[in-house]
Structure 1
Amino acid sequence: MASSLYHLKFVYLLSFLSTFHLIATRSFSSVRPLCRGDERSYLLQFKDSFVIDKSASSEPWAYPKVASWTLEGKNNDCCSWDGVECDEFTGHVIGLDLNSSCLYGSINSTSSLFHLVHLQRLNLADNHFKYSQIPSTVSNLSKLTHLDLSSSAFASQIPLEVSQLSQLSSLNLSGNAYLELKKPSLRSLVENLTFLEKLDLREVEIISMVPNILANLSSLTSLRLCDCRLYGEFPVGIFKLPNLRVLDMRQNEGLTGHLPDFQSSSTLEIMNLAKTNFSGKLPASIGNLGSLTKILMWGCNFSGFIPSSLGNLTRLNSLDLSYNTYKGRIPSSFGNLVHLSSLYLTSNEFTSPIPSELANLTQLTALNLGHNKFVGRIPSSIFNLTNLEFLSLSDNYFSGTVEFDKFVKLKKLTTLYLSNNQISLLESETNANRTHQKFVGIGLSRCNLSKFPNFLANQNELELLNLQGNNIHGQVPDWVWNMSKESLKSINLFDNFLTSLGQHPILLPWTNLAILDLSFNNIQGSLPIPSSSTLQYHASHNSFIGKISELICNLSSLQVLELSKNNLSGPLPQCLHSFGDSLVILDIQRNKLEGSIPQSWANGSKLMIIDFSQNKFQGWLPRSLAKCIALKALDLSNNQFNDTFPSWLGNLSNLKILILRSNKFYGPIKIHRVNYELQIVDLSYNSFTGMLPVELFQNSNSSRFDRAYHLSYIQVYSSFTANLSYQIFEFQYEYNFAMMMTNKGVDTIYEKVQEIFKALDFSSNRFAGDIPESIGNIKVLRLLNLSNNILTGHIPTTLGNLAELESLDLSQNKLVGEIPQQLTQLTFLESFNVSHNDLVGLIPQGKQFNTFQNNSFEGNSKLCGNPLLKKCKYYEVLPPLPSTSKKSHDLGSPLQFGWRSVTIGYGFGLLVGVTIGHIVIARNHEWLMKTFGVRQLVPGRKV
């Protein structure tokens, strides 16, 4: 009885305590404590250490949250301030969210922020901290579970103290391009962060292998390490982390690896390996990843066939396998991917047929099958994809006639690329004017068009138009100049049959144009000038006439200017030097331009190619060209420049090609310092005097070309990224340097110049003296032309070291002596000319020398032997007589006995005997026995 009573009292007590706790909790929660005074002070100090600058945050919704931090009125409770979170019981500040708050200024280790030791969540993303270092006192915030410092202009090394924040479950330091993680390493950073669920270090420069320790972080749900310059084999165990949902390793081109066999228990939702060096095949087990919504593996080294099991991933909304070497057919099981909104398979080796099941993908907005091997007609199933906004079928082998009206039925379609197939695109005359669909991108290169498509006349939102390589003849329609005036960024009319631009304005109307390509037509009239926004202007291979307008100097952002092979005349605009630092390529060759070159090129720091060849330029070269520190090739050939050698270019360490051919350059070449390693030098047809400029090729002895560049050319790339409304589009332009040189006696045009090609042409000047022995050190020299000078002395035997030499011209000089036998070692020599010198002796025989004709040696009266008709006499083929020693006059000399044996044994008469005796003096008695079968006389015996 007593025990029951006791038990009942105990139950009542528990009930009372429970009720009291509930009442107390409700009471306390209804009266939230004010923030701590010291912490309020820390927050205000932190606010005052920055200025508010809207440009410090990039997000459109950014606003200064700290503007509400004030003590005025009733706003002295910091727990009510914007971005501040307090503990509801203690009042301590436990959260600070200043994401996109327009803060600008440095942050250091003495910042009051690090006195808020109760902070659990800190977000300073999308501000600008002036490239200051993350302070080491961040370790004071030992209770942090979430730290986000992304995109806030932090720089330098991530301090080791971050690794001491052992409670972190989320760490985001991404988007700080100048942030490094080297000491400590990635391994040192994460080995103590055992509770990590999310790690984001995108764009942090790490430069290391991916540590295996990451595969031990069993709580990890998101790992983002893209663009960190990681390398080496990716730990396969990371794929098998039990809670991993997001894996983003893209843009680590040194990172290798392969995909494992996946289990159905995998939680992966996003797998992004784009632009890595992952390789191998897609395993059939990829079909087990039922949670996947995105597979982005473009720009890798994957190969083989696509497994049909990929069709099991019915949650996929984005699939990008572009820029690999997948082959075979697209599996019909792709028809199961009914939630797919984007499908990118471009630049692989897929073949036909395209499965009709793709018609099931009614949610598709973007479909790119370009750069594959599809053949036949464009499949009709594509025209059922009514939600398509972007469609590219370019660069395949589709054929037949295609009606443009079928694409118009895809009402949401704004981007259509059909370029570079074998199709003929037909436009209905009746429907063309009724096409109200607004396109953003149109690519119809090589679609057998005979005129400008009429539907373009109604387009006012077009950003990209490519009509390259069609059969469009005659005049550009006038309506073109009213088309998409404010939106057009690129128009390509390259390689058509246009003859006139019609009544075009001198200043073209497209205010945001980036690329204008009119090249390879036959357009006549004055040269149009694009807007100041233009980055690339190509108008070569036309018939433009007249002067270049001064308006061209408004193109302050221009990267490429190609006006070559026209009929432009008059002087260059004197403002041409005012082009900004952006200009990379300036090619105005083969026109009729005249006058002097503008004398100031102070802004040419990015110029890599300058080609002024085949014009009528005169006067001195502008000394300010020496400021073009990136200059790789300078071609001034076939003009009327009248100047001394530009030795002041000697500091241009990138200069590879210098062509001054056919001008009026004069005087000796004096060079004090040479920092460049010239690959091609052509000084021919000028009036240079003095000795050959040894200094020009002292730095050309490198043999690196033996090991590299065998398949590469002298090229310059110009690229930029345009934010088109439908995608980010990267425009790339590859400029191949071309030149003309005399090779094997023929003026040869090189449309491309290999990096391995080395050539020296000093011909048709007045160089004197000997040929330097050091020329033989240029191991990979292909062409050497020293003809038509007044060179003297012997041909250096060191020329036999030029194992790659294909053409050697030493003609029309005053060279003496014999042709070195060592030249027969030049097994690649196809052209050889030593005519019109004073050479003597036997022409070397064998190998390549058996292929040379008479004219290679004519004008040397003392040369003999094949291929000349003149045969050599005995004394013409012998080396010079050595000095006679005393021993040769002794009675017992074997040479003396040899003389007697010839005189007595052969008895050809005195003259012949003396001649053969001369041979014997020059040779030893073993040679005598071998050649004539005569024994040496032994004293005491008779013959």
Structure 2
Amino acid sequence: MGCVKLIFFMLYVFLFQLVPSSSLLHLCPEDQALALLQFKNMFTVNPNASDYCYDYTGVEIQSYPRTLSWNKSADCCSWDGVDCDETTGQVIALDLCCSKLRGKFHTNSSLFQLSNLKRLDLSNNNFTGSLISPKFGEFSNLTHLVLSDSSFTGLIPFEISHLSKLHVLRISDLNELSLGPHNFELLLKNLTQLRELNLDSVNISSTIPSNFSSHLTNLWLPYTELRGVLPERVFHLSDLEFLHLSGNPQLTVRFPTTKWNSSASLMKLYVDSVNIADRIPESFSHLTSLHELDMGYTNLSGPIPKPLWNLTNIESLFLDDNHLEGPIPQLPRFEKLNDLSLGYNNLDGGLEFLSSNRSWTELEILDFSSNYLTGPIPSNVSGLRNLQLLHLSSNHLNGTIPSWIFSLPSLVVLDLSNNTFSGKIQEFKSKTLITVTLKQNKLKGPIPNSLLNQQSLSFLLLSHNNISGHISSSICNLKTLISLDLGSNNLEGTIPQCVGEMKENLWSLDLSNNSFSGTINTTFSVGNFLRVISLHGNKLTGKVPRSLINCKYLTLLDLGNNMLNDTFPNWLGYLPDLKILSLRSNKLHGPIKSSGNTNLFTRLQILDLSSNGFSGNLPESILGNLQAMKKINESTRFPEYISDPYDIFYNYLTTITTKGQDYDSVRIFTSNMIINLSKNRFEGHIPSIIGDLVGLRTLNLSHNALEGHIPASFQNLSVLESLDLSSNKISGEIPQQLASLTFLEVLNLSHNHLVGCIPKGKQFDSFGNTSYQGNDGLRGFPLSKLCGVDDQVTTPAELDQEEEEEDSPMISWQGVLVGYGCGLVIGLSVIYIMWSTQYPAWFSRMDLKLERIITKRMKKHKKRY
């Protein structure tokens, strides 16, 4: 029996060794499971959250709701994102990165009951408006804390500096977080074990103290309002791999002139938009491990620094937005180079070096845009088979575009705009094109078919060339197209009807300044995303298409300079985002009727109905609805352009009249507030309600049949820069209050029936005769008819009577002077006869009238001379 027991015991020990150790682990403590479930219930899963997010290095991570696997029926150690200690079962790690969580993160959250946590990652969720709780500082065992990109806000609590065991701290967000200078110093001083510190976009507003962890490998402090001088000790951290200080223009960086301790370890150095104190020293030659260097916008000047050519392991080199000058030298053998950006400098010379660098087989990005490069692109370039992005825009390059560019098999982005390239656009070999912008050159011929068969093309910008032919309906196969800009070419025919049905992605449609004809038979479908439609400057006829009402996101509509024959499309006012409406120079006609709806055209900033046949009174109801013009745009000092989310490729352009001049294809500022109703048949009075449009910059009501007085309410237009009321029938005086318009640069009141004295002072002292000509009743500077202190206001009726009297031969001043001699003798004879024939009353009346006429003439004579 004892032998049997021994056998069973040995078998038990053997089986025990075969059982996986995980099956004998302690289960998750009940209180911790409950704490996690309570934490889960505080949030919802956001169904609209993206299926992908990105970590701080830009690596894509799949998003999914990890907490959906949390339930009472399973051990919490098996839940997604939860790790437990193998011995005690205590929760020691919680990874909820990219879990689509949405809700308020409470400062007393049940999460803080997990006192044994060592790793905690809550990044890339949506805790909008939540503060970072001081209780995070109670996780005394924490080595990793990641709270980035989860919409936390407010001050980062100083209690975070109590986490003395931290190796990794990542707290970043888009300028919603701040960290006081004292807290920053405390943080660096206490976290002596820190390997990685990432406070991207946190407002620190401090210098960098010299006392910090010597174990740092990653130091990420971009866009943190750092100032002062970067301690040189940073460059002597022996394990430093990544240093990111970009976007701190008040931070000064002085690179060591001797070899750095981190020379062998440093792989990424981002110092764009900081102040580099001196030239690049020779010590850069020792950065043998450097893979990425970004020194854009750092005021580098002179030739391209030679020490950079020794970085033989470099993969990305960004020196854009500087003041580098001189020709581009024969670059060394950068066999690992992926990205080279030298755009926005003052480099000159040609691109001959491209034909001699056959070792750039890994090159994917080449950017020499906005320099002073000249000559043609070499035709014998090879070795760039992996090139994906080629930027050579805004130079002085010419000649034909060489065939090797069109033959690049992996080309994604091509930008050769703002040069003087000529010849035809060849067929592209690449099937992966996303952006092709060749605008503002001298290219000719048709649009190549290969462009119309791209599956991923988003931006096709070919404007301001000599491209000819018709637009094929196959252009509507570009399902990913966001912006189509074919303006200012020689295209003709009709606009394909299907263009309005490209509703998936199309934002901008510009076919302006071509020779398109026929009616606009395009049907704009329900659900489209169009923001910009410009068909200006063609030969289009018919009516304004009613289907435009389906363009709910439309911001700019320019149908000007065509031959449209319609009444005013009042229904366009229902488009909620419409800011710019130009229907100028068409055959539109009739009165502009009031709908009684006060919500029409509320966001309109530019209204141009000039050069049509509109009649009746000015559209007072519409003018009263222009809510966007009833406030002054404060961006006058640094005005921004009206643009869309893709403004890197497209800024709103239109033709506008301002300050007496027509401007074609100009970019529109957010501060532009313009009303142009000139060259129509409007009549009646000018509505005083225009004075409520205090944001107006330009008002043009010229060449109509308007009458009545200039409203005194115009004094409220405090930022008005141009006022044109010329060629109307406006009467009365110029309101003296207009002298307060200190922004007024252009004034044209000519050819009206204005009378009285011209206001004095400020801007009115700068206007010339042309501003007032054709108003015979006006007096004062700069006219020759001066205003005296005793002048009475002359009414229009008195003026007419006076002119009639002045035209009479009997009362001509010149006649009085010429006939004075003989008239004296005759006059005395007449007096004698009148008195002797008993007509003293008639003579008395005649005498008084003559005295009055002569007195007026003498006064005017004095004023004139």
Instruction: Give the TM-score of the pair, scaled to structure 2.
Output: 0.77
Task: Give the aligned partner of residue 145 of structure 1.
Answer: 92
Aligned pair partner of 2:445 in 500, 509, 529: 500
1:667 maps to amino acid: P
Cα distance in 1, alignment partners of residues 620 and 667 from structure 2: 27
Cα distance in 1, alignment partners of residues 658 and 413 from structure 2: 42
Task: Give the aligned partner of residue 811 of structure 1.
Answer: 726
Cα distance in 2, alignment partners of residues 657 and 495 from structure 1: 24
Aligned pair partner of 2:431 in 486, 495, 519: 486
Q: Could you say if the C-alpha distance between residues 665 and 616 of structure 1 is closer, same or farther in structure 2, counting changes exceeding 3 Å?
A: farther
Task: Give secondary structure in 2 for the equivalent of 1:308.
Answer: coil
Cα distance in 2, alignment partners of residues 534 and 819 from structure 1: 57
Contact 1:207–1:228 (CA<8 Å) still a contact in 2? no
User: Does 1:255 pair with 2:216?
Assistant: no
Q: Could you say if the C-alpha distance between residues 697 and 306 of structure 1 is closer, same or farther in structure 2, counting changes exceeding 3 Å?
A: farther
Contact 1:829–1:848 (CA<8 Å) still a contact in 2? yes
Task: Give the aligned partner of residue 626 of structure 1.
Answer: 549
Q: Could you say if the C-alpha distance between residues 198 and 538 of structure 1 is closer, same or farther in structure 2, counting changes exceeding 3 Å?
A: same
Contact 2:376–2:400 (CA<8 Å) still a contact in 1? no
Task: Give the aligned partner of residue 607 of structure 2.
Answer: 681
More off after superposition, 101-110 vs 270-279 = 101-110
Contact 2:281–2:307 (CA<8 Å) still a contact in 1? no
User: Does 1:342 pair with 2:268?
Assistant: no
Contact 1:767–1:789 (CA<8 Å) still a contact in 2? yes
Q: Could you say if the C-alpha distance between residues 820 and 163 of structure 1 is closer, same or farther in structure 2, counting changes exceeding 3 Å?
A: same
Residues 154-196 of structure 1, C-alpha deviations (whole Å, 9 max, x = no match): 33334611121111010122233xx31655x322451432221
Cα distance in 2, alignment partners of residues 419 and 659 from structure 1: 33
Aligned pair partner of 1:124 in 77, 81, 100: 81
Cα distance in 2, alignment partners of residues 23 and 640 from structure 1: 100
Cα distance in 2, alignment partners of residues 440 and 293 from structure 1: 28
Cα distance in 2, alignment partners of residues 812 and 224 from structure 1: 68
Task: Give the aligned partner of residue 422 of structure 2.
Answer: 473
Task: Give secondary structure in 1 for the equivalent of 2:548.
Answer: helix
Task: Give the aligned partner of residue 569 of structure 1.
Answer: 492
Task: Give the aligned partner of residue 6 of structure 1.
Answer: none
Residues 489-531 of structure 1, C-alpha deviations (whole Å, 9 max, x = no match): 4444444433336xx75x21x6xxxxxxxxxxxxxxxxxx352
2:156 maps to amino acid: V
More off after superposition, 586-595 vs 840-849 = 840-849
Contact 1:651–1:673 (CA<8 Å) still a contact in 2? no
Task: Give the aligned partner of residue 14 of structure 1.
Answer: none
Cα distance in 2, alignment partners of residues 286 and 858 from structure 1: 72
Q: Could you say if the C-alpha distance between residues 169 and 494 of structure 1 is closer, same or farther in structure 2, counting changes exceeding 3 Å?
A: same
User: Does 1:283 pair with 2:206?
Assistant: no
1:466, distance to aligned residue in structure 2 (A): 4.1
Cα distance in 1, alignment partners of residues 246 and 359 from structure 2: 31
Residues 215-248 of structure 1, C-alpha deviations (whole Å, 9 max, x = no match): 1110111112233653223531223311111112
User: Does 1:666 pair with 2:590?
Assistant: yes
Aligned pair partner of 2:162 in 198, 202, 216: 216
User: Does 1:753 pair with 2:675?
Assistant: no
2:255 maps to amino acid: P
Task: Give the aligned partner of residue 738 of structure 1.
Answer: 654
Cα distance in 2, alignment partners of residues 433 and 357 from structure 1: 27
Contact 2:137–2:163 (CA<8 Å) still a contact in 1? no
User: Does 1:271 pair with 2:219?
Assistant: yes
Contact 1:145–1:170 (CA<8 Å) still a contact in 2? yes
Cα distance in 1, alignment partners of residues 648 and 775 from structure 2: 55
Aligned pair partner of 1:396 in 320, 345, 353: 345
User: Does 1:155 pair with 2:102?
Assistant: yes
More off after superposition, 449-458 vs 260-269 = 449-458
Task: Give the aligned partner of residue 293 of structure 1.
Answer: 241
User: Does 1:601 pair with 2:524?
Assistant: yes
1:850, distance to aligned residue in structure 2 (A): 5.2
Residues 640-681 of structure 1, C-alpha deviations (whole Å, 9 max, x = no match): 333333332333343222222222132233142235133222
User: Does 1:691 pair with 2:617?
Assistant: yes
Task: Give the aligned partner of residue 58 of structure 2.
Answer: none
1:341 maps to amino acid: H
Cα distance in 1, alignment partners of residues 407 and 782 from structure 2: 74
User: Does 1:461 pair with 2:422?
Assistant: no
Identity of aligned residues (%): 31
Q: Could you say if the C-alpha distance between residues 588 and 192 of structure 1 is closer, same or farther in structure 2, counting changes exceeding 3 Å?
A: same
Task: Give secondary structure in 1 for the equivalent of 2:159.
Answer: helix
1:817, distance to aligned residue in structure 2 (A): 2.5
Residues 586-625 of structure 1, C-alpha deviations (whole Å, 9 max, x = no match): 2222222233334643346532222222223233323332
Cα distance in 1, alignment partners of residues 527 and 158 from structure 2: 48
Task: Give secondary structure in 2 for the equivalent of 1:298.
Answer: coil
Task: Give secondary structure in 2 for the equivalent of 1:776.
Answer: helix
Task: Give the aligned partner of residue 524 of structure 1.
Answer: none
Aligned pair partner of 1:792 in 707, 716, 727: 707
Q: Could you say if the C-alpha distance between residues 867 and 877 of structure 1 is closer, same or farther in structure 2, counting changes exceeding 3 Å?
A: farther
Contact 1:769–1:793 (CA<8 Å) still a contact in 2? yes
Q: Give the alignment of 1:835-846 within 5 angstroms.
A: 835-845=750-760
Q: Could you say if the C-alpha distance between residues 167 and 276 of structure 1 is closer, same or farther in structure 2, counting changes exceeding 3 Å?
A: same
2:111 maps to amino acid: V
Task: Give the aligned partner of residue 3 of structure 1.
Answer: none
Contact 1:280–1:301 (CA<8 Å) still a contact in 2? no
1:540 maps to amino acid: S
Task: Give the aligned partner of residue 317 of structure 1.
Answer: 267
Task: Give secondary structure in 2 for the equivalent of 1:408.
Answer: coil
The number of residues matched between the two structures is: 755
Contact 2:443–2:465 (CA<8 Å) still a contact in 1? no
Cα distance in 2, alignment partners of residues 112 and 784 from structure 1: 73
Cα distance in 2, alignment partners of residues 194 and 411 from structure 1: 51
Instruction: Give the TM-score of the pair, scaled to structure 1.
Output: 0.71
Aligned pair partner of 2:573 in 630, 635, 650: 650
Cα distance in 1, alignment partners of residues 725 and 510 from structure 2: 33
User: Does 1:716 pair with 2:643?
Assistant: yes
Structure 1: stretches of 5+ with no match in the other structure: 1-21, 47-54, 60-99, 127-140, 511-528, 720-730, 881-908, 920-943
1:742, distance to aligned residue in structure 2 (A): 5.8
Task: Give the aligned partner of residue 933 of structure 1.
Answer: none
Task: Give the aligned partner of residue 331 of structure 1.
Answer: 281
1:397, distance to aligned residue in structure 2 (A): 2.9
1:214, distance to aligned residue in structure 2 (A): 0.9
1:794 maps to amino acid: H
Cα distance in 1, alignment partners of residues 347 and 381 from structure 2: 27
Contact 1:197–1:222 (CA<8 Å) still a contact in 2? yes
Q: Could you say if the C-alpha distance between residues 426 and 761 of structure 1 is closer, same or farther in structure 2, counting changes exceeding 3 Å?
A: closer
Contact 1:404–1:425 (CA<8 Å) still a contact in 2? no
2:612 maps to amino acid: N
Task: Give the aligned partner of residue 315 of structure 2.
Answer: 365
Contact 1:642–1:666 (CA<8 Å) still a contact in 2? no
Cα distance in 1, alignment partners of residues 281 and 557 from structure 2: 53
1:803 maps to amino acid: S
Aligned pair partner of 1:107 in 56, 68, 76: 68
